[in-house]
């Protein structure tokens, strides 16, 4: 058998291989070779990253991965402009643009799009789930859904997108937060008894960790929840129902039954958390009766926010393939989330829809190879995303398409 992996234990790219441009499609390498050997490497281009069609039912997306793209391109002879990490965007809008000789950055097109698309897709789905469960904590339990090499990435962008907590240990460390989570079924099964496991957890685990008992392992959710409440009393913060979909039935009815049983037995203080195969529609259906949610796979494997990079200017002249808008562009936004796309050199002061002041969204990220922007902490980006989500909740009618403005 041929050992195609060499000394690798896992089939992942190293940071060095990513920075060297080895994570690319071969045709980008061949393009560079042709341009260099034909004497055409001098051409300067302006390329924009944008979305020309969001998934069905989506009117917006949350941009993520900007800091990683900056790390990918810094030190190269290019200028980069981008929206902020965590910024909401619509179709047609350029979210990032690169200016320079194509031979100096073209091999990185696949890598930077991979970063932006995956991070943006996760952050956008997290934001949608957060909106569905507004007012209730949303925890990301997605580590087991992805390759361990990228689990910290998934944790980071789920958190940026609005999740209130993440369970991954390294992901939480890199995001600057504490990991969230109590117990798996394995603890109860290994000890062989629910009450024994709940009490051992209560006696051993640090007091700053909420006592949330997993209550669906060996018997009915209602009876296990009551047993946990009797075992831990006032120390029990909540119960978690993680019933597999194959045995679930109607989860809303199960939660209502457990709530009734706990309240009737004097345990109104005990909260109910739901997890196990949840998507935003499930969260929306349960948000009025559950106290919190654990969501994993649907955020870790979301619908893709397809971002593409297209050249829109060559050697200072507007030029693009068919189906694209040629020329470098800017996006302006007012406080009412009205967006306007203009030519890059147009200065817009007021929103053409409502007259409110506007601000440009594309700002310098890299100039002559040097990163010129200070990056926020993940918690700071998340707070801005939550402020945007609050605005979305207050807007009666969101326009999914930006205005096009050419004076």
Find the angle CA(280)-CA(286)-CA(289) to the nearest 5 degrees: 150
Compute CA distances 44 → 103, 104, 266, 342, 379, whole Å.
9, 10, 72, 22, 38
Across the range 282-303, mean pLDDT stands at 96
Q: Give the integer Cα–Cα distance in Å for 53 and 305.
A: 8
pLDDT digits (tens, 9 = 90+) for 324-371: 999 999 999 999 999 999 999 999 999 999 999 999 999 999 999 999
According to the model, what pLDDT value does residue 401 have? Answer: 86
Find residue 240's DSSP bridge partners: 214, 273
Mean pLDDT of 77-97: 97
Helix/strand/coil percent split, the chain, to 5: 40, 20, 40
The CB density around residue 23, as the number of other CB atoms within 10 Å, is 18
Strands (E), 174-261: 212-214, 238-241
Contacts with 103 (C-beta within 8 Å, 6 or more apart), sequence order: 32, 35, 36, 41
Is pLDDT of 249 > 90? no
**DSSP secondary structure letter of residue 205:** S
How distant is the alpha carbon of residue 404 from its chain centre?
Answer: 28
Strand extents, DSSP E, 128-199: 138-140, 165-166
pLDDT at 7: 82
Please report how the helices 194-204 and 221-232 are oriented relative to each other, as an axis angle in degrees rounded to 10. Answer: 40
User: CA-to-CA distance for 318 and 114, rounded, in angstroms?
Assistant: 26
pLDDT of residue 397: 78
Q: Are 234 and 264 in contact (CB under 8 A)?
A: no
Given a contact cutoff of 8 angstroms between Cβ atoms, the answer to whether 334 and 405 are in contact is no
The answer, as to whether pTM is greater than 0.85, is: yes
b (16+ CB within 10 A) / e for 51-63: beebeeebebbbb
Which of 121, 47, 231, 52 shows the shortest CA–CA distance to 129? 121
CA distance 101 to 253: 61
pLDDT, position 245: 62
The yes-or-no verdict on residue 5 having pLDDT over 70 is no
The model's pLDDT over 160-180, given as tens digits with 9 standing for 90+, comes to: 999 999 999 999 999 999 999
- When pLDDT is cut at 50, 70 and 90, the band that residue 1 belongs to is very low
* Res. 3: pLDDT tops 60: no
C-alpha closest to that of 338 among 358, 366, 318: 358
């Amino acid at each position: 058998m041929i050992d195609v992996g060499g000394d690798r234990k896992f089939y992942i790219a190293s940071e060095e291989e990513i920075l060297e441009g080895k994570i690319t499609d071969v045709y980008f390498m061949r393009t560079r070779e042709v341009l260099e050997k034909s004497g055409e490497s001098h051409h300067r281009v302006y390329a924009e990253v944008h979305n020309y069609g969001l998934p069905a039912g989506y009117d917006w997306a949350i941009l993520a991965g900007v800091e990683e793209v900056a790390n990918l391109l810094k030190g190269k002879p290019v200028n980069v402009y981008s929206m902020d990490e965590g910024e909401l965007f619509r179709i047609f809008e350029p979210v990032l643009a690169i200016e320079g000789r194509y031979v100096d950055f073209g091999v990185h097109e696949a890598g930077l799009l991979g970063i932006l698309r995956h991070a943006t897709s996760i952050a956008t789905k997290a934001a949608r789930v957060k909106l569905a469960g507004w007012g209730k904590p949303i925890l990301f339990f997605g580590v087991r859904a992805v390759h361990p090499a990228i689990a910290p990435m998934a944790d980071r962008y789920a958190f940026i997108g609005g999740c209130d907590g993440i369970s991954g240990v390294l992901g939480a460390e890199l995001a600057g937060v504490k990991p969230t989570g109590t117990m798996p079924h394995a603890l109860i099964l290994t000890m062989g008894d629910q009450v024994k496991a709940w009490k051992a957890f209560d006696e051993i685990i640090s007091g700053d960790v909420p006592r949330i008992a997993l209550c669906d392992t060996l018997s009915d959710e209602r009876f296990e929840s009551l047993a946990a409440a009797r075992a831990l009393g006032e120390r029990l913060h909540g119960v978690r129902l993680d019933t597999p979909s194959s045995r679930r039935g109607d989860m809303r009815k199960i939660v209502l039954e457990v709530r009734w049983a706990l309240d009737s037995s004097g345990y109104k203080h005990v909260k109910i958390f739901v997890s196990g195969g949840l998507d935003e529609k499930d969260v929306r259906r349960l948000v009025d009766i559950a106290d919190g949610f654990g969501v994993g796979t649907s955020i870790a494997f979301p619908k893709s926010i397809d971002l593409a990079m297209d050249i829109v200017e060559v050697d200072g002249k507007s030029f693009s393939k068919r189906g694209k808008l040629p020329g470098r562009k800017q996006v302006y936004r007012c406080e009412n989330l009205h967006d306007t796309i203009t030519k890059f050199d147009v200065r817009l002061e007021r929103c053409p829809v409502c007259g409110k002041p506007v601000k440009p969204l594309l700002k310098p990220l890299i100039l002559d190879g040097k990163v010129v922007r200070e990056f926020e902490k993940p918690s700071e980006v998340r707070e801005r995303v939550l402020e945007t989500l609050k605005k979305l909740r207050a807007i009666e009618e969101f326009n999914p398409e930006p205005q096009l403005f050419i004076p």
